[in-house]
Amino acid sequence: MRAEPGDFAESVLLPGDPRRAEYIAENFFEDAKLVTAERGMLGFTGTYRGNPVSVQTTGMGCPSTAIVVEELIGLGAKNLLRVGTCGGYHPEMQLGDLVIATAATAQDGTVSSITQGVPYAPAAHFDLVHAAYHAAEEAGRKPFLGPIVSADLFYDPEEDPQALWHSLGVLAVEMEASVIFTLAAMRGARAGCLLTVSDAIGSNKVERIQDSVLKGAVDEMVTLALGTLEALH
């Protein structure tokens, strides 16, 4: 990332998309400053309601995210909160719904490499789950709360992934949370994950959210994420 100690706040939002990182900094932060643009992985630091906060792109997938998380923690980050989109597996989910992840099944090679094949259960930190749930409750949102799965593949070869994962109680699929939870636990940081349902995955089709609806849902998610980080102070 080619950043220096002091460039990042202790609390960091982690979107996958660099454009979303830039959007968050410009529309939610005060006095936002670009602190890294290495390889297009944009990072910004500013304040929110007087508290220092940063946002850093992770890119897509656990390998890229692992690099970012290791370096952020090395630079002093203590609270890492992923803000992203997901494919919803729960049949009652609507496009734009909010998911608060409690754990992330590691259907990826990165966590297995880190743990050297030892079975491991990546979990969100209770402080972030608790703060996020109450922030949503205060905002009148009814989030889905529970486990998700972090996959290596965007285009899943599984014939009916919704049937498989819903039968196991998994709410949604995304691509980064498992390694964020793993590395944070290993390094003594706190990590969480908020997701907006952008795709409803059923047994015979995938329904995609409209861009205008996605924007409003993501704005609400980011506001809740910033309230979650604020509650940790």
Active site residues: 199
Residue 217 per-residue DSSP state: H
**Which residues make Cβ contacts (< 8 Å) with residue 86, sequence separation at least 6?**
99, 148, 172, 173, 174, 195, 196, 197, 198, 199
Q: What are φ and ψ of residue 153, in 5° steps? A: -110, 130
Q: Which residues pair with 55 in a beta bridge?
A: 13, 44
Neighbour-count burial for 80-98, b at 16+ CB within 10 Å, e otherwise: bbbbbbbbbbbeebebbbb
Q: Which residues pair with 191 in a beta bridge?
A: 80
**Which residues make Cβ contacts (< 8 Å) with residue 188, sequence separation at least 6?**
none
Residue count of the chain, please give it.
Answer: 233
The answer to whether residues 94 and 197 touch, using CB atoms and an 8 Å cutoff, is: yes
Helix, strand and coil content of the chain, in percent to the nearest 5, comes to 35, 30, 35
